[in-house]
């Protein structure tokens, strides 16, 4: 994400604070090797198993996995009449995946004759991530239930202890107040403060059925807020078991809603 979104060098609006200019189209492409083995299964069958995967970065888009066509199980795919056109890559042809009684229509695409400026796409195929049942990075399953993707090597998450006072309000009602938040910085996204559960008004929170998966932080649970005569749906989230570099935020809560006010003060001298 750091390359193609926010202020990244391949984003639509790179910063002015550089001493260079990237010559080329407004929509830029960058393809590079993914360093580990990648597998996908569907209907109990392995559809792709490769140590030669590539990540394609495009301006304004998350990176997309491409695999050599030779590493896809030919007996599980059938060409279809479906085609799409991309002005930057060319005309894509599609394959449907069939395994047993399961069918994933137009789940895989390739550019048989890519545009000259993207000629390196020839021989590779892209996947709709949520069309497959399971994905593996080496032998670790990539979680997500359709929301996941491989971790971008240019994306990072940093968590730091902070002594800045943080207060969250809905109108005049204080929902949370702490002097011991954690500050999470994530590539391409605004900083988020995470607050210890003990410093949050739990009596104002109502558990939600919503869950969301982040490849860098894990699976989040959500709560709605009921206070000041209003209910804000899914305005609070937490990662019960945060992963990797985000592990420190496990059990902490964060808030985001247009009707909420988050006040951040200065640390004590």
User: Tell me: the pLDDT tens digits for 180-238?
Assistant: 999 999 988 899 999 999 999 999 999 999 999 898 999 999 999 999 889 999 999 99
Reported as a single tens digit per residue, the pLDDT across 49-95 is 999 999 999 998 888 999 999 999 999 999 999 999 999 999 999 99
- 52: which 2 tokens? 């030669």
Instruction: Give the strand order in the sheet containing 261-264.
Output: 173-178, 166-170, 261-264
Is the entire prediction scored with pTM above 0.85? Answer: no
Convert the pLDDT of each residue in 11-36 to its tens digit: 877 778 888 777 778 889 999 999 99
29-141 CATH fold: 2.170.150
Q: 157-264: same fold as 29-141?
A: yes
How many angstroms separate the CA atoms of 32 and 58, rounded?
12
Locate the domains of the chain by residue range: 29-141, 157-264
Q: Homologous superfamily of 157-264 in CATH?
A: Domain of unknown function (DUF427) (2.170.150.40)
Half-sphere exposure of 27 (CA within 13 A, CB side): 10
């Amino acid at each position: 994400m750091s390359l193609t979104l926010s202020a990244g060098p391949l984003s639509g609006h790179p910063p002015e604070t550089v001493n260079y200019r990237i010559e080329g189209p407004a929509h830029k492409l960058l393809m590079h090797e993914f360093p580990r083995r990648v597998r996908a299964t569907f209907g109990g069958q392995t559809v792709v198993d490769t140590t030669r995967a590539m990540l394609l970065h495009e301006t304004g888009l998350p990176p997309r996995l491409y695999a050599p066509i030779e590493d896809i199980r030919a007996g599980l795919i059938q060409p279809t009449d479906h085609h799409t056109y991309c002005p930057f890559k060319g005309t894509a042809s599609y394959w449907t995946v069939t395994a047993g009684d399961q069918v994933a229509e137009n789940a895989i695409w390739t550019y048989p004759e890519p545009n000259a400026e993207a000629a390196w796409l020839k021989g590779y195929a892209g996947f709709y991530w949520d069309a497959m049942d399971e994905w593996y990075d080496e032998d670790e399953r990539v979680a997500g239930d359709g929301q996941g993707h491989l971790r971008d090597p240019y994306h990072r998450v940093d968590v730091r202890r902070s002594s800045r006072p943080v207060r969250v309000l809905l109108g005049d009602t204080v929902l949370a107040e702490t002097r011991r938040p954690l500050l999470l910085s994530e590539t391409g996204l605004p900083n988020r403060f995470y607050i210890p559960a003990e410093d949050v008004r739990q009596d104002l929170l109502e558990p939600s059925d919503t869950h969301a998966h982040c490849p860098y932080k894990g699976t989040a649970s959500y709560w709605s807020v009921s206070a000041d005569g209003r209910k804000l749906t899914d305005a609070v989230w937490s990662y019960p078991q945060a992963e990797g570099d985000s592990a420190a935020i496990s059990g902490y809560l964060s808030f985001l809603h247009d009707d909420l006010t988050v006040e951040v003060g200065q640390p004590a001298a």
